[in-house]
Amino acid sequence: MDGMVSISGATFLMGSDRHYPEEAPAHEVTVEGFWIDACPVTNREFGRFVRKTGHVTVAERAPDPADYPGARPDLLVPFSTVFVAPAQRVSLTDPYNWWRPVPGADWRHPVGPGSSIRNVPDHPVVHVAWADAAAYAEWAGKQIPTEAEWELAARGGLDGAEFAWGDELNPDGRWMANTWQGEFPVQNTQEDGYERTSPVGVFPANAYGLYDMIGNVWEWTSDWYTGHAVSTHGCCSPDRGDDREADGREQSIDRRDPARIPRRVMKGGSHLCAPNYCRRYRPSARMAQPVDTSTSHLGFRCVVRQ
């Protein structure tokens, strides 16, 4: 299959007991074989989909006030969330110190009005919400990977290794992925060559021939976000499929969110992951992402199940 890599079914150790609590416990998971895109979906590829289908992304539409009780009226316009480096050191406990809702930011305007993708056709598409990734996958005759499929692929056969390429962040001083060097979020030394996204495929592939699994952009997976301890990966209790889907959706909601937007798992970390703030440039790392939320550091790739 064009631009895709075949991954054999396997039983592997998913998660980690040595990092953030949401990655634990490490546990064995069995995944059937599948094909996966070698690279994240690019602006050029997403553009082809939009031209053929007329798809309008979530970020290009005004949110419906009925879905967001009590929302600030200035947020009920088309917008997306853009990383804006603060002018000086800020508290690392509040992500709004660097995340800005920018009206007019969308996949064609990655940092807002006036920006364009003309010179970055081969960068991963960003500012795609879950519905946009799912619509692309359906159009392409593909699916969005489960978290387990994504993590198996990212590990490249190095079961239990810290990184997608082994146990060292920069073997022989080499940058293996587009992450953040320097003091996040105020100083980006770009030792890896890139301040924001990078063209897909410029960093080395993992042992399965997959590029940019780690870093560049986070990637959507189809799993509802729950702790590993309560989630049921794999093949058990097929008779409860529909209930499990509904339970997972419900459990994924952040109880502090008045809009009760369910959240899916995103994987791989991005160009914003830095040692002093977010060490999520690893296959086992995971974060919850509300399905309606698009950002300047989140994209996706697709799979085809055998």
Q: Which stretch binds Ca ion (CB under 5 A): 163-171, 245-253, 267-275, 281-289?
A: 267-275
With the CA atoms of 1, 175, 11 and 20 taken in that order, what torsion angle do they form, in degrees rounded to the nearest 10? -130
Question: CA triplet 42, 155, 289: central angle to 5 degrees?
Answer: 55
Q: How many CB atoms lie within 10 A of CB 256?
A: 5
Does 221 participate in binding Ca ion (rule CB under 5 A)? no
Taking the least distance from each CB to Ca ion, the nearer of 40 and 248 is: 40
CB of 216 to Ca ion, least distance (A): 5
CA atoms within 13 A on the CB side of 96: 1
Cβ-proximal residues to 96 (8 Å cutoff; 6+ apart), any chain: none
- By a kind-dependent CB cut-off of 5 to 8 A, residue 136 interacts, out of Ca ion, Cu ion, none, with none
Q: For the segment 186-215, give every residue that binds Ca ion (CB under 5 A).
A: 192, 194, 212
Q: Provide the minimum distance between the beta carbon of 35 and Ca ion in the complex, in angstroms, as a whole number.
A: 18
Q: Say which entry of Cu ion, Ca ion, none residue 128 contacts (CB below 5 to 8 A, set by partner kind).
A: none
298 Cβ partners below 8 Å, 6+ apart? Answer: 126, 127, 128, 217, 218, 219, 220, 266, 270, 289
Cβ distance to Ca ion smaller for residue 79 or 200 = 200
Give the footprint of Ca ion on residues 124-183 (CB under 5 A).
178
Identity of the residue, 145 or 262, whose beta carbon is nearer to Ca ion in the bound complex: 145
Q: 167: which residues sit within 8 A by CB, 6+ positions away?
A: 161
Minimum CB distance to Ca ion smaller for 272 or for 291: 272
- With contact defined as beta carbons under 8 Å apart, do 156 and 208 qualify? yes
Query: Which positions touch Cu ion (CB under 5 A)?
Result: 269, 273, 278, 280
CA distance 281 to 163: 7
Is residue 268 a contact point for Ca ion (CB under 5 A)?
yes
Of these partners, Ca ion, Cu ion, none, which one is at the site of residue 37 (CB under 5 to 8 Å by kind)? none
Phi, psi (deg, nearest 5) at residue 289: -130, 120
**Residue 125 or 285 having the CB closest to Cu ion:** 285
Give which of Cu ion, Ca ion, none residue 178 binds (C-beta under 5 to 8 Å, depending on kind). Ca ion
Q: For binding to Ca ion (CB under 5 A), which residues are involved?
A: 178, 192, 194, 212, 216, 268, 271
